Chains A and B, each alone.
Chain A
């Protein structure tokens, strides 16, 4: 397959016809460059969008209880609906296949003291799975684990701002703080892309907290992430079903908007993904448009090149070149030029995106870039285009009678 002699012929042909080669190379490089830039910026726009909506896990569902607003099944209006541990078990067992993670939550505002510093924070009793919901990131130490749950350990994980408020420049890890008179050990510090308020939470094992506040099996909320394999519509249906069944279980009217509340991110996702889908289509259209321009460009140039070389091809045929040898030579040259210049355009495009990326953030373009498969696909498209664009005129040139080819000037 590898024919050194043919490559030599091709390199000579390219090297001795620099302008011609540079022009065709330029077309391809420019097409790929534009493609990379447009595609990259489109992706950047999409990234901005994603980022805005990605403060918490995208597949979260929150369920909470409140006072009823409709009398139902003999219950008075204004009754406080109270979730209990058996609701947690119920959800886990009924929807095991649709739930990725689930955590109950108790939340209280408590006074927290460390030495002479004190302040009031929201303390949340949760399961380790809650970590996924908040998209929090551990800076130091670890998050809660199931051993903490089982052993009802008096440990806490605090937000970055809590550490800053109470400990200043010092590390909080391993220190002990006093929450409403009970001493907890700090086992981790987290940061959260959601911002300062999300970094003023304190997490403690759900079981520990439940024991502290009455030990009655009561809980406030559920944080769920649904199975990411569910489609958005399936996820919405799943959320609605849970709400319906919980209302039934707690004798809340199906029409009561307040008694039990549910916030399904899938609903927001549906809107967001609609916009994202629109963006994607726009990006695709732009990308394909650019590619098509490149394909047309390279085709034109190949037609011109073959025409210009008709006489040379006639000479080659007169001295014994077979039509296949002619076609193979032209195609190999075309593919070589397209591949190299396509790659060059790509490198330049990616380079520009890298350099200009940070300064584009104010135009809502975040981390512009193109994914490898897209880039490889685009380059392959152009190579194939070069192949076809080279093949047709080459085939034609190879079938011209040598005498005609020789007489063309």
Chain B
């Protein structure tokens, strides 16, 4: 599903260049539940942004669903994002003036689905994350955990191939963290590839494979106990 070869990325800082990713090789197959671990500055968010087509890499190859990602223009990137990828962010990134239901329906709007159908599908996914009753609430009337579940419903609504979650539990307490991770696991159990970025050991433990990053390089890549159990 995701294949990365010798990926490099650097950011200009004034006249200097900050080399963030220094040659990453990573292969994630369909249906995997992977977490990327690392301290801040290790390059994990940069990796997710590149995987999510929110940013461009400098060197190396990136294949998404078998397609080489190279010199994408914004329009093509937008279409690919809409088709293959669902995003869950640490800060939820819901549009504040839209209700939960409308936020979930937004990706479908850009996919060209008509209004009636889009609201039906969105409601279905809100139901799935247990927030049907909150469909007409604005984000600021929801708790952090609820907001994140709305965001997850939004990520899922286009039936993407991969869900990318950037510190999805970073702003949540431990109870809600568990419920969000449970939800991600359920999604993965249904066959969706889930790609989580975190710096919390407990969160990573709940995935099936942990990739550890340090200073822009992969230092370890191993299956967790649940991952091994599945593999066996």
Which residues of A are at the interface with B, using a C-beta cutoff of 8 A?
Answer: 4-5, 8-9, 12-13, 16-17, 311-312, 314-325, 398-399, 401-403, 406
Q: Do residues A403 and B55 form an inter-chain contact, with CB atoms below 8 A?
A: yes
What A residues does B115 contact at CB under 8 A? 4-5, 8
Given known pairs A5-B115, A403-B55, the reply for A321 and B97 (CB within 8 Å) is: no
Interface residues of B in 74-131 (CB under 8 A from A): 74-75, 78-79, 81-83, 87, 89, 93-98, 102, 106-107, 109-111, 114-115
What B residues does A316 contact at CB under 8 A? 95, 106, 110
The reply on B169 being an interface residue by CB < 8 A is no
Q: Do residues B110 and A322 form an inter-chain contact, with CB atoms below 8 A?
A: yes
Complex alpha-carbon distance, A324 and B79, angstroms:
12
Chain A residue nearest in CB terms to B50:
A403
Complex alpha-carbon distance, A403 and B89, angstroms:
11
What A residues does B111 contact at CB under 8 A? 320
The reply on B158 being an interface residue by CB < 8 A is yes
Contact of A319 among B55, B81, B97, B114 (CB under 8 A): B81
Complex alpha-carbon distance, A401 and B56, angstroms:
9
Max chain B Cβ within 10 angstroms of own Cβ: one of A318, A320, A402, A403: A320
Contact of B109 among A5, A324, A398, A399 (CB under 8 A): A5
Complex alpha-carbon distance, A406 and B151, angstroms:
14
The reply on B18 being an interface residue by CB < 8 A is no
Nearest chain A CB to B225 CB, angstrom units: 33
What B residues does A8 contact at CB under 8 A? 115
Contact of B49 among A9, A311, A399, A403 (CB under 8 A): A403
Chain A residue nearest in CB terms to B154:
A319
Complex alpha-carbon distance, A74 and B93, angstroms:
106
Question: Can you identify 8 A-B contacts, CB atoms within 8 angstroms?
Answer: A12-B98, A311-B93, A312-B95, A320-B107, A321-B78, A401-B54, A401-B56, A402-B54
Q: Do residues A319 and B54 form an inter-chain contact, with CB atoms below 8 A?
A: no
Chain B residue nearest in CB terms to A402:
B54
Q: Do residues A398 and B74 form an inter-chain contact, with CB atoms below 8 A?
A: yes
What A residues does B83 contact at CB under 8 A? 320
5 A-B pairs with least C-beta separation: A320-B82, A16-B97, A319-B107, A320-B110, A403-B54
Chain B residue nearest in CB terms to A405:
B54
Given known pairs A5-B115, A402-B54, A403-B49, the reply for A321 and B95 (CB within 8 Å) is: no
Q: Do residues B54 and A17 form an inter-chain contact, with CB atoms below 8 A?
A: no
Chain A binding surface, main DSSP class: helix
Chain A residue nearest in CB terms to B82:
A320
Q: Do residues B75 and A319 form an inter-chain contact, with CB atoms below 8 A?
A: no
Given known pairs A406-B89, A406-B93, the reply for A399 and B110 (CB within 8 Å) is: no
Complex alpha-carbon distance, A13 and B79, angstroms:
23
Interface residues of B in 56-83 (CB under 8 A from A): 56, 74-75, 78-79, 81-83
Nearest chain B CB to A190 CB, angstrom units: 68
Nearest chain A CB to B102 CB, angstrom units: 8
Q: Do residues B93 and A322 form an inter-chain contact, with CB atoms below 8 A?
A: no
Complex alpha-carbon distance, A322 and B115, angstroms:
19
Complex alpha-carbon distance, A325 and B74, angstroms:
11
Complex alpha-carbon distance, A323 and B81, angstroms:
13
Nearest chain A CB to B165 CB, angstrom units: 13
What A residues does B52 contact at CB under 8 A? 318
Chain A residue nearest in CB terms to B112:
A5
Nearest chain A CB to B12 CB, angstrom units: 13
Chain A residue nearest in CB terms to B81:
A320
Contact of A322 among B49, B74, B98, B107 (CB under 8 A): B74
Contact of A323 among B74, B87, B102 (CB under 8 A): B74
What A residues does B109 contact at CB under 8 A? 5, 9
Max chain B Cβ within 10 angstroms of own Cβ: one of A319, A399, A402: A319
Nearest chain B CB to A395 CB, angstrom units: 11
Chain B residue nearest in CB terms to A9:
B109
